[in-house]
Structure 1
Amino acid sequence: MNLLNGIFTWKINVFLTATILIALVILDFYGVYTDRFYFLKLDNYIFPLLSLIHFLYLYVIWFKITEIELPDPKMRNLEYVLYVVMIIYLFKVYDSVLVLDSYNNFSEHMVPSMFKPMAILTLVLHSILPLLTMLSFWQRKKYIGPYNFENYNDNLNIWQ
């Protein structure tokens, strides 16, 4: 894990995760079967809304590490919500695999030329996102500290 942390420092992880989230938010509106963007479908807004939780978590990680602060209950709750969002990220990986696998089912129909490259790009980005999220959980524990709120008030001494 230290080798991985040497390659992906916490800053690189935050920037890479934010870049992937922005790309996936844009790609979520893209229809690979029709090669068009759909902004009026309500289903396309689910992932962007859930990614706001991830963006908030990335901001909290950045703030806590740069300001050398201890974890707090709000951060813990945000991380627990992100655990649930991770299930949706894994579902999106599964959904991307199904879309890419459906290419052979439409071989008799006219499929856009960008179907395979866009489906592969979406699959790769959706696959990398949970890995980077797990890395950010590990980096939170390493740089900010574990969630230990039993002795939180005893360890909080503002005069030191």
Structure 2
Amino acid sequence: MKSILRVFPWKRTINLSIAVIFLLIIFSFYGLYTNTFYLLKPNNYIFPLLTLSHITFLYVLWFKIKEDELTDPQMRNIEYILYVVFAVYVFKTFESLYILTSYSEFENHIIPASFFPIGILIFLLHLFLLGLTLLAIKYRRDMVGPYVFDDMNQHIDSWE
């Protein structure tokens, strides 16, 4: 575990997370079977909207580490939302794996040559995002601290 923390320090984890999210947002509009981008399908906008909470968490994590601040209820709420988004990431990872393994069902159809390279790239990006998300949560626990609030701190809004 320590070697992973050396390879991916907190700044690199945040930057790579943002880069991977950006790439996956682009690929969320891409159709593997047809090799085209679908910008008018409403389902393609679900993933980009969900990643807004992840980007917000990464910003709050960066700010808390830079300013050496402790956790607050707002950060806790954002992290709890991130847990739900993480479940969607797991679903998207399995969905991309399913699409890759369903290649044999469409042998009689014309499948573009980019199916496997792009499909494997999307699957690996999803796996990488899962790992980076867990690593960001670990950095929050290690560097920012646990969510322990006594009664007096419940009424303080640290973002004002």
TM-score normalised by structure 2 residue count: 0.93
Q: Give the superposition deviation at 1:151.
A: 6.8
Partner of 1:116: 116
Mapping of 1:22-37 within 5 angstroms? 22-37=22-37
Please name the residue that 2:135 is paired with.
Answer: 135
Equivalent position of 1:99 in the other structure: 99
Instruction: Provide the identity percentage.
Output: 47
**Any gaps of 5 or more consecutive residues in structure 1?**
none
TM-score calculated relative to the size of structure 1: 0.93
Q: Which residue of 2 aligns with 1:125?
A: 125
Shift of 1:2: 2.2
SS of the residue corresponding to residue 110 of structure 1 reads: coil
Shift of 1:91: 0.3
Say yes or no: does 1:77 pair with 2:45: no
CA shift at 1:36, angstroms?
Answer: 0.4
Deviation at 1:128, TM superposition (A): 1.2
Cross-structure match for 2:68: 68
* Structure 1 range deviating more: 22-31 or 124-133: 124-133
Instruction: Give per-residue Cα distances to partners, 1:4-47, cap 9 Å, x unaligned.
Output: 11110000000011000000000000001100000000000000
Distance 1:79 1:152, change over 3 A: farther
Q: Which amino acid aligns with 2:58?
A: L
AA of the residue aligned to 2:119: A
Structure 2 alignment gaps of length 5 or more:
none
Q: Which amino acid aligns with 1:90?
A: V
Whole-angstrom distance in 1 between the partners of 2:10 and 2:119 = 29
Cα distance between partner residues in 2 of 1:143 and 1:37? 40
1:33 and 1:127 map into 2 onto residues whose CA distance is 21
Q: Deviations over 1:83-140 (max 9, x none)?
A: 0111100000110011001111111211111011111011111111111101111111
Show structure 1 runs of 4+ deviating over 4 A: none
Q: Distance in 2 between matches of 1:34 and 1:10?
A: 38
Q: Which amino acid aligns with 1:134?
A: L
* Aligned-pair Cα RMSD in Å: 1.3
Letter in 1 for 2:14: V
> How far apart are the structure 2 equivalents of 1:87 and 1:152?
33
Q: Distance in 2 between matches of 1:59 and 1:136?
A: 11
Alignment partner of 1:38 is 2:38 = yes
Q: Distance in 2 between matches of 1:152 and 1:6?
A: 37
